[in-house]
Amino acid sequence: MNFIPALTTFQWLLLAAIPPAIISLYFLKLKRHPVEVPSTYLWTRTIEDLHVNSIWQRLRQSLLLFLQLLVLLLAILACLRPGWRGTNLVGDRFIFMVDTSASMSATDVGPSRLEAAKKHALGLIDQMESSDVAMVISFSDVPRIEQAFTNNRSALRQAVNKISQTNRRTDISEALRHASGLANPGRTSEAGTSDVQVADALPATMYIISDGGVPAVPDFSPGNLTAVYVKIGTATPNNVGIVAFSTERNPEKPGQLQAFARLENSSGKDVEVDVALYLDGGLVDASSVTVPTDAAEGVSFVLNDIESAILKLEIQHKDDMLLDNAAFATINTPRRARVLVVTLGNDALKFAITTEAAAKVADVAFAEPAVLETKEHETLALAGAYDLIVYDRCTPKVMPEANTLFIGRVPPAEGWSADAPKTSPLIIDIDRLHPLMHLVELGSILIYDSLPLKGPEGAKSLIDSDNGPLLMIAPRKGFEDAVLAFELVGAYPDGDVNAKTNWPRRKSFPVFVMNTVRYLGGARASLEVQGSQPGQPVKLRTEAPTEQIVVESPSGVRTKVQRESQNSFIFTRAEELGVYSVREGTDRETGQHFAINLFDSRESDLIPREVIDIPYFDEATEQVGVHASLAEPSRKEMWKLLLIVGLVVLVFEWYVYNRRVYL
């Protein structure tokens, strides 16, 4: 604290003479009032008033005198201009961006990194001048504008205080584009025009308050933005997190299930932790594992074959972040695909699609092409009653609300066409990465003839030949249509109906049929774990056609979801970590479960980054604190506050005088 006197010596002498003058006026004020006393109760006070020769009696307690001297004291202090050395932010437009991703829940900075970030933001707001404007943006993988540009610091503080923690991962790219769009308006006009909606590009300083765990941001131009990175977090956090958890059947022992997990350690030393596995809430196994520093370690468990269960893996270790100490996996009852095969007769196809393995994952019905002319079938097909319809040497009038496989025919859909058949195609290449071609070998396949296919936009060839594509697949309004360019059986020129390829006699044919049922039919195996990360949409399918499902979150919040195409449901409110339950239609019983887990190595790595990888910001990005970043020294004075307090006291003194209030 220091002082800068605002008056000259003579002016100070005049000011110093005012208090004695006020007190002197009280000496000259004689209080002798005739009083009628009905009793001796007031005699003592009356007699004291008669002691006029006692100088201090005239200064007995007076509230007015005290208030007047207090006003004078405040005025003298204001003239002394008390103040201290501080800082002001450089510039007049600011954007405060606060990270709310999962890693900001870490408690290495108490009470949490997010609370520390909000404290930093409030400190920056306190350094603003009254004419400065700022806005507040919170971000995880999506940005949220908490407060638009304003010079109301109270509104800015309120916006910062209401920022809440999320379980999402970090992606700053959209937040940067929001900020850049506000600092660099894209609308322009030519000189001489009067377009009032054209905004000037105004420079702004953007404070990114985060632990720096953000992915690189490609193709971004800051324009008028100046970036400052405020690092949050300690250099040596303590955290061991689960970044992967899945189940699969033991290939050597089909009666066993294996659960696999990967743990990562972002602490500065090796950490030994106990890992417990729970099945439907009951402990079934536990293991101790040592996770090396800045590395990963795997752990596995063996379970008996189960059809439906909820698995929870938990790290029993106290560290700086709890969100990644537990992971969930759901094992649902197998969902059987609804498959319709429309054919004139195809023993090879019927045999391959009715095997014991296929029966476990699909309910298959057969029909002749005449059924395509019936109203009943058309209604079912358009209502999503089937997951997959196989058209063997036939085509429908209207494409169904289902995935399809056409054998030897072209779909009656836009973009599909074929030239005249060509004989003896020779297979050249296979897309082995596509699920339909998984483990499918076509090395010795003979084909009588094929249709040179041409697919719509987005179509992909899975089997290529010298006559053109033999198998193509293309999207259609959320569905997929696969087309096999040759017939399995058919009529030869002489009229005989017989096999037109030897593929059904090869082992790869039933494999292809099973792949088709699983992929296009959407058959769900019991070990398939549905789920996603927080904030990402989850696609659900039901056992039977229904218009609505109810999804219940781990905290008990229920959300109704309406049916979309392909008899699927898209759930977009998966913000909580844990297991969600799904009820189908009016059924009160839970039909299936899915899990939402963090599973993000970047979020589990709590070590704060020194810089953020943002194009054009390499030189401007720096580690800063609340009182030291892009700030200039300034003197903070309180004379205005003293004058305001003095004015309040003066108003109160006027009130006392008018009400004749005495102590």
At 121, the amino acid letter reads A
**Per-residue pLDDT tens digits for 609-656:** 888 877 665 443 443 333 344 555 555 667 677 788 878 888 887 887
217 in Cβ contact with 616 (< 8 Å):
no
- The phi and psi torsions of 373 (rounded to 5 degrees) equal -85, -10
Residue 39 reports pLDDT greater than 50: yes
Taking 70 as the threshold, does the pLDDT of residue 6 lie above it?
no
Least confident range from 93-102, 284-293, 414-423, 490-499: namely 490-499
Q: What is the pLDDT of residue 38?
A: 59
C-alpha span between 524 and 308 (Å, rounded): 12
Whole-angstrom Cα distance, residue 154 to residue 125? Answer: 9
In degrees to the nearest 10, what's the CA dihedral of 308, 385, 568, 455? 120
661 contacts: CB under 8 Å, gap ≥ 6: 63, 655
Q: What is the pLDDT of residues 142-192, one digit of tens each?
A: 999 999 999 999 999 999 999 999 999 999 988 988 888 776 655 444 444
Q: Is the pLDDT confidence value at 14 over 60?
A: yes
Q: Which of 375-379, 454-458, 604-608, 658-662 has the lowest mean pLDDT?
A: 658-662
pLDDT band at 521; cut points 50, 70, 90: confident
pLDDT tens digits along 182-205: 766 554 444 444 443 444 557 888
The stretches of 40-139 forming alpha helices (DSSP H) are 43-49, 63-80, 113-126
Query: Please, are residues 425 and 501 in contact by the beta-carbon 8 Å criterion?
Result: no
CA distance 611 to 231: 8
| pLDDT tens digits, one per residue of 89-140 | 666 889 999 999 999 999 999 899 999 999 999 989 988 888 889 999 999 9
Q: What is the pLDDT of residue 654?
A: 81
CATH number for the domain running over 337-519: 3.40.50.880
Q: List beta partners, residue 471.
A: 463, 484
Query: Rounded distance, CA 604 to CA 241, Å?
Result: 6
Query: How far apart are the C-alpha atoms of 253 and 249, rounded to whole Å?
Result: 8
Residue 53 pLDDT greater than 50, yes or no: no
Question: By C-alpha distance, which of 23, 16, 15, 12 is closest to 68?
Answer: 23
Structure tokens at 577: 């970590």
Q: What is the mean pLDDT of residues 2-13?
A: 66
Compute the mean pLDDT over every residue in the chain, rounded to the nearest whole number: 82
Same fold? 91-184+200-235+608-629, 337-519:
yes
pLDDT: is 44 or 659 the higher one?
Answer: 659
Higher pLDDT, 485 or 360: 485
Residue-level pLDDT at 192: 46
Q: State the sign of the Cα–Cα–Cα–Cα dihedral 368, 374, 376, 381.
A: positive
Residue 327: count of CB within 10 angstroms of its CB: 25
Highest average pLDDT, of 220-234, 429-443, 634-648, comes from 429-443
CA distance 602 to 101: 11
> Starting at the edge strand that comes first in sequence, how are the strands of the sheet with 271-279 ordered?
282-291, 271-279, 309-315, 326-331
For the domain spanning 91-184+200-235+608-629, the CATH number is 3.40.50.410
pTM above 0.75, yes or no: no
Cβ burial 219-236 (10 Å sphere, 16+ → b, else e): ebebebbbbbbbbbbeee
Q: What is the pLDDT of residue 196?
A: 37
Write down the domain spans for the chain. Answer: 2-83+638-659, 91-184+200-235+608-629, 337-519, 533-593
Judge whether 612 and 172 are in contact, CB under 8 Å. Answer: yes
- Angle, helix 9-16 to helix 18-28, in steps of 10 degrees: 20
In Å, how far are 346, 436, 495, 551 from 446, measured between CA atoms? 18, 20, 20, 50
Instruction: Express each pLDDT in 546-580 by its tens digit.
Output: 788 999 999 999 999 988 766 678 899 999 999 99
In the block, residue with structure tokens 């053109």: 468
